[in-house]
Amino acid sequence: MADTKILIVDDSAFMRSVLKNILEGAGYSNFVEGENGNDARTKTDSEAPALILLDLIMPETGGMGIIAELSQKAKVIVISAVGQDESVNEAKANGASDYIVKPFENDQVVNTINKVLGL
């Protein structure tokens, strides 16, 4: 589990640090980071993560439009401050395994990830 590679995509370095900290607390240690949708695409190909935590609202390329593509290559969990049902439904229809709304509880993040990874 510790070497499960997780790609964290968020334009905020603060958010990435917080997420990483939560995951480290749950025993994960293998992280790759991305700042926008393009980053997410490139790093999914070059790093082959098992799981992608994806923000939606980011500069240049956002998250929503690439879920379909990314979910072919890895499990995708959306983590976004956008909480509307339409957004959740759209993301899931595009192939997201789950959807976490910011602000989140630590346990919620860890449980969702473990569930999606089948742990």
Summarize as ranges the residues that interact with another protein (CB under 8 A).
11-15, 17-18, 21-22, 25, 57-59, 80-82, 102-104, 106
Q: State the nearest-atom distance from the C-beta of 72 to another protein, in Å.
A: 27
- In the bound state with another protein, the residue whose beta carbon lies nearer, of 11 and 39, is 11
- Identify the burial level of 92 via C-beta atoms within 10 angstroms of its C-beta, where 0-12 means exposed, 13-18 middle and 19 or more buried: middle
Q: State the nearest-atom distance from the C-beta of 115 to another protein, in Å.
A: 20
Q: How far out from the chain centre does Cα 24 lie? A: 15
Asked whether 35 and 8 are in contact (CB, 8 A), the reply is: no
- In the bound state with another protein, the residue whose beta carbon lies nearer, of 50 and 82, is 82
Q: State the nearest-atom distance from the C-beta of 45 to another protein, in Å.
A: 25
d(CA 88, CA 8): 19
